[in-house]
Structure 1
Amino acid sequence: MGKIPVRRLFAPLLIALAATMAVVVPVTPVMAAPGDPIAAAAQVEPTVVRIDTEIDYQRAFGNGAGIVLDPNGQVLTNFHVVSGADRITASVGGRSYPAELVGYNRKRDIAVLQLIGAAGLPAAPIGDSTQMVEGEPVVALGNANGTNGPLTREVGTVTGFGRAVSAEDALTGSKDELTGLFEFAAPVVAGDSGGPVVNSAGQVVGVTTAASVNYRFGPGGEGYAIPINDAMSIANQIRSRAPSADVHIGPPVLLGVGVRTAQRGPGVQIADVLRGGPAERAGLLPGDRLLVLDGTALDSATTLTYVLDRHYPGDVLDLVWLDGNGQERTGKATLTPTTF
C-alpha cells in the first residue's frame, strides 16, 4: 500500500512534526448537494478559537485553532496543538483568555480546553459526519495567519473516507497512527490544526488534523480531518471527567526527559534531562538508556508516552536504566504535572 508524506498542522518554532499517510479503499463518488460554502462557514467563524502556546523547555511558541463547544468556554481542539505547552492562551470574539487542559486522548489527537473566565460564548453548530458524501463542498477554518490576522478559509471538497495517518512528533519522539479520517482537497496549512471543517449547511463536520507536505510548495493538495461524530464522542467523555485507558483527565504528567528510540538494543536513549525534574532527581543523565518504566519494557518513545498517560501527578514510578558506562541502575521518579 502506497505511502504519501503528510504533516500535522501545528505551527511552532523549533518544533517539527512529520507524518506518512496510508491510503485506504476509496468510497464510490456521490453527487453532493449544491451550496455556498463560504457563506455557510461565515456562520461558524464566531465560534472558532485562536490558540497560542508556549513551551519553556524548547523555548518554542505555536499556534492552532479550536471550536467552542459551550457558552462557558469549553473548546475542542487537537491534542498535538497543546501537547507539551506550559502556557495556553485562547482568543475568541476579540477577547483573550488563559486556558487549561481538561483532558485528552493522545491516540485520537483530541483535547478539550477550558477558557478561564469565559461566559456567553457562541457554541459551534455540530453536524453529523455520517451524512457526508464524496464531492461535498467544505471549508476548513483555521489560525494559520496568527491571532492578530484574519481566519484562514480553505475551500475544497471531500475526496475520501477511512484514511489513516501515521505521525511522528519530533518534540517527544513518539509515533501515533490516526485512523478513520476523512480526506478533503483544500490547501490547509500550518496553524489550521484543531479548526473546524464546515459543510454547506453551516455545520461543523470535522476537525482538521493533518495535510500533505506538498502544500508548502504550492496550491492544492489534501487535508485530513477527524469526523466530528468521533471527535465529540471523545470530547464528551473528557467533559464528563471520565478517565479510561485512552482518555487522560487533566494535563499530562512530567517525567522530564527528551528521548529517542535506541539505535541498538532495548530501551529509549535519553537525549536531554530537564534540570530539577523527576528524571534528574531519580539519577538519570543524558546518554543513559531507559529500559523499564513502571514495570513496562520500553521499545520506543511512543510506549513511554503511553505509560505516562496512565498516571497522574504524585505517582511514583520504578525506573531501570543503563548508565553511560553500561551499568544497570534502578531508581524511582515522582511524577509532576506540566504547568498551564
Structure 2
Amino acid sequence: MSGSHRPSRWWLLSVAAASIATVGLGLVAPVQAAPTLPAPPLDPGAMVAQVGPAVVNIDTQMNYQSAVGAGTGIVLDPSGVVLTNNHVIAGATGLTAVSVGNGQSYDVDVLGFDRSHDVAVLQLRGASGLPAANIGTSSRVAVGDPVVAMGNSGGHGGTPTAVPGRVVALNQTVSAADELTGTTETLNNMIKADTPIRPGDSGGPMVNAAGQVIGMNTAASDNYKFAQPGGEGYAIPIDQAMAIAGQIRAGISSSTVHIGETAFMGVGVVDDNGGARVATVLADTPAAGTGIAKDDVITSINGRPVNSATDLTDVLDQCHPGDVVTLTWRSPANGEHSATVTLVPGPVG
C-alpha cells in the first residue's frame, strides 16, 4: 500500500519546492493567457437600420451601349454629395439616384472621378437634409474584424441587401478591366472580406461593429471584370477613397483626377499591338466626321503616343468639352492619317 502512495507524495513535494524557489528568487511564475475569442458576427438587419438611410441606389442609362446599369452610393453630406465607384457611372449618358433615407429620386451631376482608383463623387440635384454616413477610418481595420457589406445587390433598389463576414486580408491588389472603355486598371491596398457581394453592391458601404464606414465595396459586374486574384468581397479603404473625394470636392484636377464634364470623341477602342484599335465609331460624334473607321489603329493624340486603350482614355481624362485635339491613326488600307477634333460633352467617365 505504501508503495502505491509514494509517487503522489513526491510529485506534491516537487511542486511545492518549485514554488518556494520561485518566490525566493523574486520571480513571477508564467500565467497562461486565455485564448482571445473572435468578436461575434454582426447583425445585418441592425446595420441596415443604422447605416441604410445614408445609402442611395444608383441607376445608369448608357444610350451608346443600349444598356442600363445599377450601383450604390454613400451619402457624405446632407446636401447630397455622394461617394461611389467610378465603374458604376462609367459610360452613363444619364444618372438617377434614389435615397434610401427618404425614398426620393434625384437627377445626378458628376463632380469628378478618378478612374485609376475607381472613385467618383456625385451631386444629387436639389437634395437637402439627407442622412449622412458615419465615416470611420480604415487605418485600424484588422484581419478577423467582423464587417457587413451592403448595397443595391442585383439592382433591385429599395432597402439595401446586407451580408455579414470578416476581414480576411489587407493590402490586396486586384486587376480590373472595363469593357465599355477598353481600359485596364490595378487597384491596390484593397480590403478583402468573406462577404459575398454581387453586381449592384459596388459603391456601397462596408461597415464595422460601430456602424462606421471603413471601406467602399467594389464588385465585378457585366462590364467591369476582375482578373485573378479578383472576385467578390473587395473594398477600397475608406481613408483612400475619402482623400480622393476631398480632392474632387475641392475641384483640384491631377494626372488621375478629372473634374466636371467628360470630354467625348465618339470611338470605342480595344488594345492592339502598337496602339488602340477602333472597335466602333459612333454616328453623329466628332470622330465620325474625321473619316476614321472600324479596325483603324489610333497611334497618337496631341502628339502623345497611344499604345493601348488605357493610354487613349488617360489623355481624354485630362481634356474637357470644347478642347481641340489632334488625332493620328493608321488605316490597314490607306496608311497614316491625322485630323483635328473638337471634343463634346459625353458619357461619364
TM-score by length of 1: 0.85
**Alpha-carbon distance between aligned partners in 2 of 1:74 and 1:212, rounded to the nearest angstrom:** 24
- Could you list the runs of 5+ residues in structure 1 that have no partner in the other structure? 1-29, 214-220
Q: Counterparts of 1:1-340 in structure 2 under 5 Å?
A: 33-34=39-40, 36-38=42-44, 39-92=46-99, 93-210=102-219, 222-262=232-272, 265-338=273-346
- Runs of 4+ in structure 1 off by over 3 angstroms are 30-37, 147-150
**Alpha-carbon distance between aligned partners in 1 of 2:221 and 2:330, rounded to the nearest angstrom:** 39
**Alpha-carbon distance between aligned partners in 2 of 1:212 and 1:278, rounded to the nearest angstrom:** 30
Aligned-residue Cα RMSD (Å) equals 1.9
1:268 and 1:289 in contact (8 A); partners too: yes
Count of equivalent residues: 302
**Alpha-carbon distance between aligned partners in 1 of 2:160 and 2:210, rounded to the nearest angstrom:** 19
**Alpha-carbon distance between aligned partners in 2 of 1:152 and 1:256, rounded to the nearest angstrom:** 37
Change (3 A) 1:278 1:190: same
SS in 1 for 2:319: coil
Structure of greater Rg: 2
CA positional deviation for 1:40: 3.3
1:174 and 1:305 in contact (8 A); partners too: yes
2:143 and 2:167 in contact (8 A); partners too: yes
Deviations 1:231-284 (A, max 9, x none): 00000110111111111001321111011112xx42111110011111112221
1:51 and 1:147 in contact (8 A); partners too: no
- Could you list the runs of 5+ residues in structure 2 that have no partner in the other structure? 1-35, 223-230
Identical aligned residues as a percent = 48
1:35 and 1:201 in contact (8 A); partners too: no
Deviations 1:97-137 (A, max 9, x none): 00010000000000000000101001000001111111111
Aligned residue number for residue 30 of structure 2: none
My pick for the range that moved more, 167-176 or 107-116, is 167-176
Change (3 A) 1:33 1:148: closer
Higher relative contact order (CA 8 A, sep 6+): 1
CA positional deviation for 1:212: 11
Bigger helix share: 2
CA positional deviation for 1:320: 1.1
SS in 1 for 2:321: coil
CA positional deviation for 1:42: 2.4
2:154 and 2:198 in contact (8 A); partners too: no
